[in-house]
Structures are given as structure tokens and as C-alpha cells.
């Protein structure tokens, strides 16, 4: 029996795929070919060319996808699953899309909930990582940060996704650096730990973020930080202001090493221990869970 | 004796001038000719052409200027006055610039302080409006909001400027609407009171602004607000989050009627009475105070 299948994380700006056999990653590939790069809705053709020889070596591999590929702007819109929900709920909420080469191909739903602050909230792709984390590191409760353009703070209980809140940290950072006075005439900047730490420490000065960020300007005017330090300082301020929302001294951070290290560094200023887990590993484990819950049954 | 003189508010994007006689505005003019529009540092020539016949009708009128014209990017950098300070302190901290037509021309310094949250802060131009407000409406204490790109929350005691905090409300709004996911594919939007009120009310849900603003996306996804309402909703959220910083039930708002009305509307949700004062009137009154403190003596 052929136990191979393909796990795909297809987001707005990136594509990642994993060839799986017996729950192990056999091969992996990634490309900066997010949904925004797909023209004329050529999703099937793009997927075929990205997966290349995986499809020719194995006949009609089942494909399970998650991420923004299931959004309005993606291949097929899959209605959100309303939380609380576990892996089984996601397995029964997929949309099937047709592939010219005969693979069965399903897209997993995203998740929606009321955030702990009473706002409607949505995610697509992160729910898979969260389910994977909970299976990989079982616990009665998980608090998890998934950093990124739209950073997610999630809560799980007994492996079940309870709720989450989005913080626009990554997008705020990029938008302010590229389009506001704060990023004006900056030289090319590298990660600067001292400036980052100052930003994290200063984020505690005030709960008012729109005041705090102006200090990226005034500290520069005063010569307290150099132009080359502005971006690290702002990053520290924004990530620090996220930490203040985490009412626990023990949580997880799931993502790429570059991001999880920054979050761990910031967390130490708040006396919070952040355990890091690899985003791809969690993604594959979560999608495997959904796969085994009978998507292709 | 010729008591005419000219008051100029020259900012980054706008130029406003007032012909004054015996502390009364005789004529006024404005142009969208901020410092960014001045090429090759042609400040004197630009000023001359803007003031036009005022300069020919009256000989060598004294000119007193405030605003970003005194910044590094302006005509001449005038070092900030460190607060607390009163009008007399500003009168002794001006920079004189030369005019080819023989007017004496001084630029008033901006102000710097530690904000009430412990950040260094700066303003240029608003300090003049604040001094004017305090003289026009005397009180032991003033709390004042000056809305704008960089909204200022200031405190005065017995007409003396104590400190202030900048909130990047206007710039955050413009940056998010023009460059983030929140503003994607918006139709042309008009002020929508219902959406603005919802934003103000929702700003109370959470102290975490980078979470709150994501609701401009999710409420739109849910159909709770229309695309045309997004900008008013976001404006309400941002102005509401400013109101939360105002620990008083009685304050002033100084600016143009369009902005002061929005702030007064938001303040009512917080049980705060905001008294409105006209920005130009306060500016002229404040600059007159500085003028009479002996700038040209």
C-alpha cells in the first residue's frame, strides 16, 4: 500500500510542501510563490509545476493543503470552522478541488472565534500548526504565540483549539518602517540586540502603543539610538507590547528560528518562559492528524 | 507707529499666515505649500511670493514664524525649549533669518519634554497654540488635545506648559488605510458616524491597539461593517484609544472644526467633556504673546 501523500502550506507570499510517508517528512520544498504570484487563478497548473517530480514518481498522490489557499483570494473559499474545535472538526470541513493529473486534493478550513478581547478573529494555516503542537507536546493547557505578519495568540485545552487573538505586529512593523516618518531615511539595518532590548523594555512604559512608537523618532532625534538601530528598536517595542498581553509565565512560540528567538528574547524581559517549536514540524504533524481523521475516506 | 506684523505657521504640508494689527487678525491666507514643497531651500523667495502684497503695502513688516520651519528640515534649526516653560521662555529662544526685502524675521523654538509616560517628546508649532489657549481661556490647569498627524496631549499649569505626549493617530490612520491589508480595495469613503461610533466603543475592548485594529478587517469579513465604513471605523478605534489616555472628564481640543468635532464625538463615549477652540485663533494669540514678550526688542 502506498502511504505517501503531500502536505502543502500555501500562503499569501510563500509556498511550502512536504512529501510524507508514514507520518515522516521524506522531502520538502519551498518557493516564494504565494497566492499573490498566481496569475489568472492558475492554481492547479502552478501546483503541478511546483510539485514537479513528486507527482511523476508517485501516482495520484493525495494532497492536503492549508493556509490562505482556502480564502476568498485563494483556490477555493473554505468556510471557517468556529472554535472551539479539534482536529476531527477540521477533517470534516475541507473543500475538494480538481487536479488535471488525477490527485485527490483537499483544502482545510481556517478557524474563526471571538478573541479573548471580544473581537471576531480569523486564521488560515496557523490552526494546523496549533493542532500539531498540541499533539507533539501534550498538555492540559497551551498558550501559544505564532509570530508573523499577523501574529496569533492562541489558547488550547486538552488539544482542542479554544480561541485566539491577532496582533498586527509584523504588518505594523513593515508599514511603519516603509511608509511612516519613523522609517524615513534609514540606512540598511541589521538586527541590533541592544536596540531591540531597549524597545522591549520601553514597551512597558505605557499601554498606549500609538504614543510608544513615536519614541522611535524622538530617541533618534536625541541621539539615544542611531538611524541604523531604529528598526530593531521598533521591533522590540511592538513585540514587547504583544508580551504584555500574555497573562502567563509559560507559553509556546511556534515559527521559524529567526522569529522565535526574537520572541524568546523579548519574553525574558517579562519573566515569561517561551518554549520554541518549529513551525514546519508542527504544521506537518497537525495536517497528519487531520489526514488520519479521514479526509480522504 | 506701525503696529502691523505677520504671524506665520509653516508646517510640513501647509502654510498659514496672518496679518496682525493691535492683536487682531486683519487678513489671513493659507496655501498647501509646506516645507516639503520648498525646493533648493528657497525659503525666503517662497515666503515673499506667498505673502505678496502684504509686504508691498507695509514696509518691512516684522515676521514671527513657528512650526516645522524651525526644524532640521526647515529654514533654520531652532533648538527646542525644554519644558516646563512659559511664553517668555519662547520669546528668548528664537532664531533670526535674513529676508532680502528687509523684514526682521524670527522663528520660534519648538518644545521638548519627558512625556508623562517617560518618553522624550517634541513638538513644533503646537506650543504656540497651547500658550494661546491658556491666555484666551485662563485656568489653573489645562489638559489639551491637539489632533493631527501627530496628535499631542498636553498639560499646562497657570498658563505654563508642563509636558505633553504624542500619539501618532493621524499618521497611523493614513499609513494603515493606504499601505496595509486594512485599507485594501476600499471604495471612496465618507465620514460615517455609525462606523466611527462603533470604532470608539470597540476601542474600549482591549488596551492592545495592534489587536484592536485587526477588527477593521474581521468585522468587514463578517459583514458587520461595509468596505465604505472601514476608514471611519478605524478612525474611531484610533481616536478612542487616545481618549483612554485622558485621565480627566474635562479637557480642551484645539484644531480645525472637522477634527475637533470627531474628537468631541469620541469623548462623549468616555464621559469626557471636550471644549473646542479654534486652532488658528489660538495660534495667533500665542504668537502675539511671544511677540509682546520682546522678540523684536
Residues 138-157 of A with CB under 8 A from B: 150
**Are B168 and A238 within 8 A, CB to CB?**
no
Q: Does B117 touch chain A (CB under 8 A)?
A: yes
ipTM of the complex: 0.95
Q: Does A13 touch chain B (CB under 8 A)?
A: no
Question: Which chain B residues are within 8 Å of A181, Cβ to Cβ?
Answer: 171
Give the mutation candidate from B208, B219, B224, B266 for the A interface (greatest A CB count, under 10 A). Answer: B208
Residue linked to cell 496655501: B31
**Are B210 and A179 within 8 A, CB to CB?**
no
In A, minimum Cα distance to B179 occurs at: A175
**Are A179 and B181 within 8 A, CB to CB?**
no
Would you say the CATH fold of B111-286 matches that of B1-109?
yes
Give the mutation candidate from B168, B174, B185, B234 for the A interface (greatest A CB count, under 10 A). Answer: B168
Quick one: pLDDT at residue B279? Answer: 95
Quick one: pLDDT at residue B206? Answer: 96
Quick one: pLDDT at residue A1? Answer: 45
**Are A119 and B205 within 8 A, CB to CB?**
yes
DSSP-based three-state secondary structure for A287: helix
Q: Does B29 touch chain A (CB under 8 A)?
A: no
**Are A209 and B213 within 8 A, CB to CB?**
no
The answer to whether A87 and A109 are in contact (CB under 8 A) is no
The answer to whether A187 and A221 are in contact (CB under 8 A) is no
Q: Does A95 touch chain B (CB under 8 A)?
A: no
Distance from CA of B247 to the nearest CA of A (A): 13
The answer to whether A138 and A159 are in contact (CB under 8 A) is yes
Distance from CA of A105 to the nearest CA of B (A): 26
In A, minimum Cα distance to B209 occurs at: A209
Residue linked to cell 511677540: B291
By C-alpha distance, which of A138, A175, A170 is closest to A157?
A138
CATH of domain B1-109: 3.30.420.300
Question: Which chain B residues are within 8 Å of A216, Cβ to Cβ?
Answer: none
The domain segmentation of chain B, as residue ranges, is 1-109, 111-286
Inter-chain contacts counted by CB atoms under 8 A, chains A and B: 128
CA distance A196 to B248: 34
Burial class (CB in 10 A: 0-12, 13-18, 19+), A136: middle
Candidates A168, A179, A214; nearest CB to B210: A168
DSSP-based three-state secondary structure for A45: helix
Quick one: pLDDT at residue B294? Answer: 85
**Are A172 and B238 within 8 A, CB to CB?**
no
Burial class (CB in 10 A: 0-12, 13-18, 19+), B139: middle
Quick one: pLDDT at residue A2? Answer: 64
Distance from CA of A216 to the nearest CA of B (A): 10
The answer to whether A193 and A266 are in contact (CB under 8 A) is no
Quick one: pLDDT at residue A188? Answer: 86
CATH of B111-286 among 2.40.70.10, 3.40.1080.10, 3.40.50.800, 3.30.420.310? 3.30.420.310
**Are A211 and B168 within 8 A, CB to CB?**
yes
**Are B211 and A167 within 8 A, CB to CB?**
yes
Q: Which residues in chain A show pLDDT less than 50?
A: 1
- Residues β-bridged to residue B43: none
3-class secondary structure per residue, chain B:
CCCEEEEEEECCCCEEEEEEECCEEEEEEEECCCHHHCCCCCHHHHHHHHHCHHHHHCCCCCEEEECHHHCCCCCCCCCCEECCECHHHHHCCEEEECCCCCCCEEEECCEEEECCCCCEEEECCHHHHHHHHHHHCCCCEEEEEECCCCEEEEEEECCEEEEEEEECHHHHHHHHHHHCHHHCCCCCCCCCHHHHHHHHHHCCCCCCHHHHCCHHHHHHHCCCCCHHHHHHHHHHHHHHHHHCCCCCCEEEEEECHHHHHHHHHHHHHCCCEEEEEEHHHHHHHHHHHHHHCCCCC
Q: Does A258 touch chain B (CB under 8 A)?
A: no
Task: Tell me the residue ranges of DSSP E strands in chain A.
Answer: 4-10, 15-21, 24-31, 63-66, 81-82, 94-97, 105-108, 111-114, 120-123, 141-146, 151-157, 160-167, 250-255, 273-278
Quick one: pLDDT at residue B1? Answer: 44
Q: Does B89 touch chain A (CB under 8 A)?
A: no
Candidates B167, B180, B219; nearest CB to A208: B167
CA distance A251 to B97: 59
pLDDT tens, residue order, chain B (297 aa): 468 999 999 998 899 999 999 889 999 999 999 998 999 999 999 999 999 999 999 888 999 999 999 998 899 999 999 999 999 999 999 999 999 999 999 999 999 999 999 999 999 999 999 999 999 999 999 999 999 999 999 999 999 999 999 999 999 999 999 999 999 999 987 899 999 999 999 999 999 999 999 999 999 999 999 999 999 999 999 999 999 999 899 999 999 998 999 999 999 999 999 999 999 999 999 999 999 998 887
CA distance A166 to A120: 10
Amino acid at each position: 500500500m502506498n502511504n505517501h501523500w503531500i502536505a502543502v502550506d500555501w500562503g499569501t507570499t510563500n509556498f511550502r510542501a512536504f512529501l510524507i510517508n508514514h507520518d515522516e517528512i521524506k522531502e520538502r520544498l519551498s518557493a516564494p510563490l504565494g497566492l499573490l504570484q498566481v496569475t489568472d487563478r492558475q492554481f492547479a497548473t502552478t501546483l503541478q509545476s511546483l510539485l514537479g517530480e513528486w507527482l511523476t514518481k508517485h501516482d495520484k498522490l493525495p494532497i492536503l493543503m492549508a493556509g490562505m489557499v482556502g480564502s476568498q483570494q485563494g483556490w477555493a473559499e473554505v468556510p471557517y470552522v468556529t472554535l472551539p474545535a479539534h482536529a476531527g472538526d477540521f477533517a470534516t470541513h475541507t473543500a475538494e478541488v480538481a487536479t488535471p493529473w488525477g490527485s485527490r486534493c483537499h483544502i482545510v478550513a481556517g478557524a474563526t472565534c471571538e478573541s479573548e478581547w471580544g473581537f471576531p478573529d480569523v486564521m488560515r494555516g496557523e490552526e494546523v500548526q496549533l493542532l500539531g503542537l498540541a499533539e507533539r507536546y501534550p498538555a492540559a493547557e497551551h498558550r501559544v504565540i505564532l509570530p508573523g505578519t499577523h501574529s496569533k495568540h492562541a489558547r488550547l485545552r486538552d488539544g482542542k483549539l479554544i480561541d485566539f487573538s491577532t496582533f498586527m505586529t509584523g504588518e505594523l512593523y513593515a508599514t511603519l518602517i516603509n511608509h511612516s516618518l519613523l522609517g524615513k531615511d534609514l540606512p540598511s539595518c541589521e538586527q541590533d540586540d541592544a536596540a531591540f532590548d531597549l524597545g522591549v523594555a520601553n514597551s512597558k512604559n505605557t499601554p498606549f502603543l500609538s504614543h510608544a512608537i513615536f519614541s522611535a523618532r524622538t530617541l533618534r532625534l536625541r541621539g539615544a539610538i542611531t538611524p541604523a538601530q531604529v528598526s530593531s528598536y521598533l521591533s522590540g517595542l511592538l513585540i514587547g507590547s504583544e508580551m504584555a498581553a500574555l497573562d502567563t509565565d509559560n507559553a509556546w512560540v511556534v515559527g521559524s528560528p529567526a522569529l522565535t528567538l526574537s520572541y524568546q528574547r523579548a519574553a525574558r524581559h517579562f519573566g515569561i518562559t517561551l518554549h520554541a517549536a518549529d513551525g514546519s514540524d508542527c504544521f506537518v504533524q497537525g495536517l497528519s492528524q487531520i489526514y488520519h481523521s479521514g479526509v480522504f475516506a
